[in-house]
Structure 1
Amino acid sequence: MRRAGLDAELAAQLERDYTKADLAPADRAMLDFAVKLTRTPYKHTREDVEKLRAAGFDDTGVLQITVIAAFFNYINRVADALGVGKPE
């Protein structure tokens, strides 16, 4: 995370527990949305999108958050299924 430009303390907070990290409200809303999409996608509702809007994200931002989180979920599942990175 530090290579992405985060300071060391924030990176450490995020690694421990993002819900306790010192984040801006928009960043927390984005992470909450991505985590819910990852862990319980079947529970997503219109309210989840509205929370992003209330945090300042427009349609493009909501789409970008959704597509990026969904892509990472997809590619990780493909890699897991094919055993990529696992010792034989």
Structure 2
Amino acid sequence: MTLDDEFVATLQQDYTKAPLSEQDRAMLDYVVKLTKDATRCAREDHDRLRAVGFDDRGILQITLIASWFNYINRVADALGVGRQ
């Protein structure tokens, strides 16, 4: 197993234990919250992202990309894409 393989495995098991930058951790915390219940996302979440260096455009991009993946995965799941 390479270092990259170990890193990916750690991210998949529990990203909070992976050696991430503060910016990456804040982004992933936000994406997890958005994925679990987007109605819980608030100004404080955006303020935290700004505090680690994301601007409004970056926050919008994170939100759009995470939301799109959530959407398309649910569509695929509903249609049985990839299931045999």
Task: Determine if the TM-score, normalized by the shorter chain, exceeds 0.5.
Answer: yes
Deviation at 1:54, TM superposition (A): 0.6
Separation in structure 2 between the aligned mates of residue 22 and residue 28 of structure 1, nearest angstrom:
9
CA-CA distance at 1:18 after TM superposition: 0.1
In the TM superposition, what are the counterparts of 1:42-57 in structure 2 within 5 Å? 42-57=39-54
- The alpha-carbon deviation at position 60 of structure 1 amounts to 1.2
Aligned residue pairs, count: 83
Deviation at 1:73, TM superposition (A): 0.3
How many Å separate the matches in 2 of 1:8 and 1:82?
31
Task: Name the aligned partner's letter for residue 47 of structure 1.
Answer: E
In 1, the alpha carbon distance for the partners of 2:10 and 2:82 equals: 26
Residue of structure 2 in register with 1:65 after alignment:
62
Match of 1:22 in 2: 19
Q: CA deviation at 1:12?
A: 2.2
Residue 85 of structure 1 aligns to a residue whose secondary structure is coil
- SS of the residue corresponding to residue 9 of structure 1 reads helix
Stretches of structure 2 that go unaligned for 5 or more consecutive residues are none
2-side partners of 1:86 and 1:10: how far apart? 27
- What is the CA-CA distance between 1:65 and the residue it aligns to? 0.4
User: Taking structure 2 as the reference length, what is the TM-score of the superposition?
Assistant: 0.90
- Among 65, 69, 78, which residue is 1:81 paired with? 78
Tell me which stretches of 4 or more aligned residues in structure 1 moved more than 4 Å.
none
Aligned to 1:41: 38
RMSD of aligned Cα (Å): 1.6
Please give the per-residue CA displacement for 1:34-60, whole angstroms capped at 9, x wherever unaligned: 110001111111111111001110111
